[in-house]
Amino acid sequence: MLAYVSLALSLYALVTYLLRGAPAPPEVDAEAVPIYMRAPSQGYAPAFPTHGVKGAVTCEVDVCSYVGAYLLSKGGSASDAATGASACVGVMHPYHSGIGGGGFALVKTNRSEPVMVDYRETAPEGAHRTMFLNRSKEEMYHGGLSVAVPGEVRGWQAMHALYGRLPWADLLQPAVEIARRGFRITPQLKFSMDTLGDKLCEAPRLGDIYCPGGVMKALGDTVRLPALADTLEQIAVQGPDAFYSGSIAERMVATVRERGGIMDLADLQRFRVLFRCAQSIDYRGRYRVWSTTAPSSGAVLLSALRTLENYPDRPYDREDVVQTHRAIEAAKFAYGERTRYGDPAYLSNVSAYEHDALSEEGGRARFAKIDDTRTFPASYYNPSYEDSGEDHGTSHLNAVDATGMAVSITTTVNLWWGSLVQTPDGILLNDDMDDFSTPGTPNKFGYKPSRANYIEPRKRPLSSMSPLLIESLPSGETQLIAGSAGGSRIITANLQMAYTYLSHYGRVDMQEVIRHPRWHHQLMPAETFFEYGIAELPDVHGYSNVTVAGLAALGHTPAWIIPGYSAAQAIQRLANGSWATASESRQLEARGGAV
């Protein structure tokens, strides 16, 4: 069940927050508080606007967007802003992402083609495809064996080397300050704590932070992370190598092995960031849509868009039964293709599969199989009858600067709170080994595991992460930087956001688009999930009963879900050339920052 609620906000947290309102301003001189901490989630009026001409940042928590905006105001690049914001999210929302995880970035400089930066975690050298066979779910999700080699810090280093303007230490300074000074618990953080409950309180080191004396902290209470502050400061002063060798690395390996894991120092020291060519499709001769390649799921997103391009050119209305039916069917075919994807270093034909899926011929072939009057059994969309697995919680952020550099990043520690293994240095480690497939373990729907995603030493697991960027074909200028968090729901959230933008020719308010109700279908289970409206989130629309009944009549099996299973963020270029941030309305503390 946790996989299905990886980003959902609890009604308890929502109601409590709304009844209490924003936290009262701290009883300190506001001038003594860093400008990036003067945010609504911390009890202050917004320190940064949501629109700007020099650049902007969006992520899941206002303080971290402000960290990025602050770095832009100091002359930093979009890459600098993205790194600073990422470090901040790892401090304030460590259950989603942080230096114990990894991810993918899509980076575009001025009018150059975007580049994919792959710092996805890797399997340790001692890993093998049957290592989780006959083991409990607990061993797969939590503990040392679930830990893959973290890539986050190396990813930041690689981007800074190519795209950075500020000194390296400046990028991490805000995160150090926030961790040391302390911050107020946000509704998202509180819900993640409540969801894990006793497991969090009983976890070594984590329990001491979030459940002092055995009592879980409350919404609005202050959290301080001195050990993580010291670690980030050491990485800032000594450089990224401090994470991958020396005492921090030694204690990391010792902690993992104490908890039954196999990662060693050599695994950390051999980790490498990979720069890959991003992939794109031209959409109706007006736009070029970019995303990332395998082992991410950018091809899945672009495949669905390529299919939908074959329909009549008119704006997408999510309450239109036939249009939404077509979008869901396109997504199901794309999810069926996803079972063929994996780490290209271990599968020689992945690039060819992606090329075929994104070709105009591939789009037309899928279009020809969609029937406006009915749906089909799952095997119709996935003849191999394989399951590529489901990934879980993530964070997404976007940044753009005055030079036109744009960055879209999705990063993760996988399940909420990752492996539950925290080192003495405050590093919460991922459980991304769970993202691989294991032979002989079909899912509960009878689909066999994807051979393309079996565990191998140094391999990177398949991910739903699919950061995206849309540029104008005539001018080459970036028009939209966007992406989502939410595990396997990332792809459909990104699809609905991108398709709406493209079908309206960019003449939409992306903040309003994010408020639209979302559907989700990942082929298996054979259900279509629809968000319903709730009074506690008046800005988030729910699907109408009429639309859902119309889709049910076409053969869809509907299931209603509370808003919050996915979380989208975007930055949109306006007609006057300025930048407008659009933050997830389902996350109460999400707000963009611009300069």
Backbone angles phi, psi at 126, to 5 degrees: -85, 5
State the angle between helix axes of 78-92 and 62-73 in degrees (0 to 180), rounded to the nearest 10. Answer: 150
422 DSSP 8-state letter: B
Is the distance from CB of 144 to CB of 256 less than 8 angstroms?
A: yes
β-pair type (528-531, 558-561)? parallel
In sequence order, the 6+-apart residues with CB closer than 8 A to the CB of 107 are: 78, 79, 114, 115, 116, 117, 159, 162, 163, 405, 406, 407
Report how far apart, in Å, the C-alpha atoms of 134 and of each of 130, 138, 373 are: 9, 12, 44
Ordered DSSP codes for 131-198: TTTT--HHHHHSSGGGPPBP-HHHHHHHHHHHH--S-HHHHHHHHHHHHHH-EEPPHHHHHHHHHHTH
Chain-centroid distance of CA 576 in Å reads 30
β-pair type (386-387, 448-449)? parallel
- Position 390 scores a pLDDT of 67
User: Among candidates 189, 258, 274, which has minimal Cα distance to 225?
Assistant: 189
Query: Annotated binding residue at 464?
Result: yes
Q: Which residues pair with 274 in a beta bridge?
A: 118
User: Among candidates 333, 328, 329, 326, which has minimal Cα distance to 312?
Assistant: 326
Is the distance from CB of 279 to CB of 285 less than 8 angstroms?
A: no
Residue with tokens 């011929």: 361
Adjacency order of strands within the sheet including 558-561 = 519-520, 528-531, 558-561
Q: How far apart are CA 129 and CA 126, in angstroms?
A: 10
- Position 391 scores a pLDDT of 67
- Position 449 scores a pLDDT of 83
User: Among candidates 459, 460, 458, 462, which has minimal Cα distance to 449?
Assistant: 462
Is the distance from CB of 570 to CB of 56 less than 8 angstroms?
A: no
Long-range contacts of 211-214 (CB under 8 A, 24+ apart): none
Report how far apart, in Å, the C-alpha atoms of 66 and of each of 27, 58, 69, 278 are: 21, 9, 5, 28
Q: How far apart are CA 21 and CA 15, in angstroms?
A: 10
Query: Annotated binding residue at 374?
Result: no
Q: How far apart are CA 378 and CA 52, in angstroms?
A: 46
Query: Annotated binding residue at 412?
Result: yes
Give the Cβ contact number of residue 317 at 10 Å: 15
Is the distance from CB of 433 to CB of 455 less than 8 angstroms?
A: yes
Q: Where are the alpha helices (DSSP H) in 317-468?
A: 321-338, 350-358, 360-369, 378-381
> Could you give the maximum distance between any two Cα atoms of the chain, in Å?
65
Query: Annotated binding residue at 414?
Result: yes
**Given 122, 186, 231, 394, the catalytic residue:** 394
Query: Annotated binding residue at 207?
Result: no
- Position 387 scores a pLDDT of 74
Chain-centroid distance of CA 432 in Å reads 14
For the chain, how many residues are written? 595
Q: How far apart are CA 228 and CA 475, in angstroms?
A: 44
Q: Which residues pair with 586 in a beta bridge?
A: none
- Position 445 scores a pLDDT of 54
- Position 2 scores a pLDDT of 35
Q: How far apart are CA 128 and CA 132, in angstroms?
A: 9
In sequence order, the 6+-apart residues with CB closer than 8 A to the CB of 7 are: 393, 485, 486, 487, 489, 564, 565, 566, 567, 586
Give the Cβ contact number of residue 84 at 10 Å: 31
Task: Give the CA radius of gyration of the chain.
Answer: 22
Chain-centroid distance of CA 249 in Å reads 26
Query: Annotated binding residue at 555?
Result: no
Give the Cβ contact number of residue 247 at 10 Å: 11
Give the Cβ contact number of residue 402 at 10 Å: 15
- Position 8 scores a pLDDT of 40
Is 394 known to be catalytic? yes
Residuewise pLDDT in 10s, the chain (595 residues) = 333 333 344 443 443 443 344 444 454 455 689 999 999 999 999 999 999 999 999 999 999 999 999 999 999 999 999 999 999 999 999 999 999 999 999 999 987 899 999 999 999 999 999 999 888 888 888 999 999 999 999 999 999 999 999 999 999 999 999 999 999 999 999 999 999 999 999 999 999 999 999 999 999 999 999 999 999 999 999 999 999 999 999 999 999 999 999 999 999 999 999 999 999 999 999 999 999 999 999 999 999 999 999 999 999 999 999 999 999 999 999 999 999 999 999 998 999 999 999 999 999 999 999 999 999 999 999 888 777 766 677 899 999 999 999 999 999 999 889 999 999 999 999 999 999 998 877 655 566 788 999 999 999 999 999 999 999 998 999 999 999 999 889 999 999 999 999 999 999 999 999 999 999 999 989 999 999 999 989 889 999 999 999 999 999 999 999 999 999 999 999 999 999 999 999 999 999 999 9
Q: pTM for the complete prediction?
A: 0.94
Report how far apart, in Å, the C-alpha atoms of 389 and of each of 110, 229, 361, 522 are: 37, 35, 28, 10
> With the C-alpha atoms ordered 126, 132, 135, 137, is the resulting torsion angle positive or negative?
positive
Is the distance from CB of 46 to CB of 63 less than 8 angstroms?
A: no
Query: Annotated binding residue at 423?
Result: no
